[in-house]
Every structure is written in structure tokens, then in C-alpha cells.
Amino acid sequence: MLRKKLAESDAQGENTRIILSREQITDLMRVFLPESANEVRLFDRLDAHVNKVVEMGFLRRLRGKDDQFEIPRILKAFVDAQWLGDFDRRLAAYAEHLAGESADKTDAEP
């Protein structure tokens, strides 16, 4: 998702720095996590994932702003356009799968 944000920014000719808030990252990732009634637990899981991505060097925290992150351009070297296209197809298939499961649950409810 971070690489996709880089590609979108490049296509639009926006600033060279891409800054995302924790809320924006949460919105991007929430789609791929199971629905949960416990929001606190969900945010803890998301924070753990974000911290791991920071450790790996694919996100940088902005100094003095714990809830702001920059996507470093080095990410382009790790995730190329072909990989990104394949990943988009897999995400679409996953979203369809989740939609099918959601519909099955709705049909099963009395």
C-alpha cells in the first residue's frame, strides 16, 4: 500500500515527500484485517504492524510527531511496478473473497 501511494504521488507530480498520518495508514490497512468489535485491540494490532514496517525501514517517523510518517523513496527499489501490479490483482481477489464471506454470513443469519 505504501508503494502504491508513492506511485500515485509520482503520477500526480506531487511533492517528493509523502507524509501519512497514523489515521491514514490505519484506513489503508483496516480493509485487510478481520472485523473486530474490540477497536482497542484492532488499533494495537495496527500499531504493531506499523512499528514493524518502521523497523524494516519502509516508513520513517517524523521527529517530534509520533503520529506522522514519511514513506522513503528507497521503497521503489524493493517493490517494482510488476510486483505492484501482481499485488493489486491478489488484493482484488482477496477483497472479493471477503465480500463473499460477508454475504454468506448475512444469508445465514435468521
Query: What is the DSSP secondary-structure string of 39-59?
Result: HHHHHHHHHHHHHHHHHHTS-
Tens digits of residue pLDDT in 71-83: 998 877 777 778 7
Q: Is the pTM of this model over 0.75?
A: no
Q: Does the pLDDT at position 106 exceed 60?
A: no
CATH architecture observed for domain 2-76 = Orthogonal Bundle (1.10)
Tens digits of residue pLDDT in 48-59: 988 998 998 889
**Alpha helical stretches, state H, 31-110:** 39-56, 75-78, 81-108
Q: Please, which pLDDT band fits residue 14 given cuts at 50, 70 and 90?
A: low
